[in-house]
């Protein structure tokens, strides 16, 4: 593929209001500017999803790519929270990981599948500014 991506990229659904709030939360709390973002509706977001075996049209396609390795579902969320570096976010990450994946991932997938109905959907794709 030859395209260079930043070290940590989060691919999110840019029309999902929950996902957009998640990105805004991360922008506010990621003081080290560790994370970069790509909407799954963008060419780079689609390319990353496909490169990691995910369907860009799937409502479950939240992806964290760190150093070229992809993480999905509740593991991706826990890794992102841990990466924020603050004590409270790391504590939350560890607490999440204490819950078995067999419970965490179905809960994540249920919310992902129904997120438009529960949280709403925007007509326009949310994209953070380059900063």
* CB distance 76 to 63 below 8 Å: yes
Please state the domain extents for the chain: 8-119
Per-residue confidence (pLDDT) for residue 121, from 0 to 100: 75
Q: How far apart are CA 19 and CA 85, in angstroms?
A: 21
Residue 5: other Cβ atoms inside 10 A: 15
DSSP code of residue 67? T
- Rg of the chain over Cα atoms, rounded to whole angstroms, equals 14
Q: How far apart are CA 117 and CA 45, in angstroms?
A: 23
Per-residue confidence (pLDDT) for residue 123, from 0 to 100: 72
Per-residue confidence (pLDDT) for residue 93, from 0 to 100: 95
* CB distance 14 to 125 below 8 Å: yes
What's the whole-model pTM score? Answer: 0.84
Tell me the average confidence (pLDDT) per consecutive run of 10 residues in the chain, 131 residues long: 67 88 92 92 92 85 89 94 92 95 92 85 66 59
Per-residue confidence (pLDDT) for residue 74, from 0 to 100: 93
């Amino acid at each position: 593929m030859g395209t260079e991506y930043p070290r940590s990229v989060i691919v999110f659904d840019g029309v999902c209001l929950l996902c957009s709030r998640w990105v805004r939360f991360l922008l506010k709390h990621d003081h080290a500017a560790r994370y970069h973002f790509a909407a799954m509706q963008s060419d780079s977001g689609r390319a990353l999803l496909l490169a990691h075996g995910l369907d860009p049209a799937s409502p479950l396609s939240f992806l964290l790519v760190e150093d070229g390795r992809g993480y999905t579902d509740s593991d991706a969320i826990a890794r992102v929270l841990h990466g924020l570096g603050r004590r409270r976010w790391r504590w939350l990450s560890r607490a999440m990981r204490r819950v078995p994946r067999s419970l965490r991932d179905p809960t994540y997938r249920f919310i992902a599948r129904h997120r438009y109905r529960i949280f709403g959907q925007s007509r326009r794709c949310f994209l953070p500014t380059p900063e």
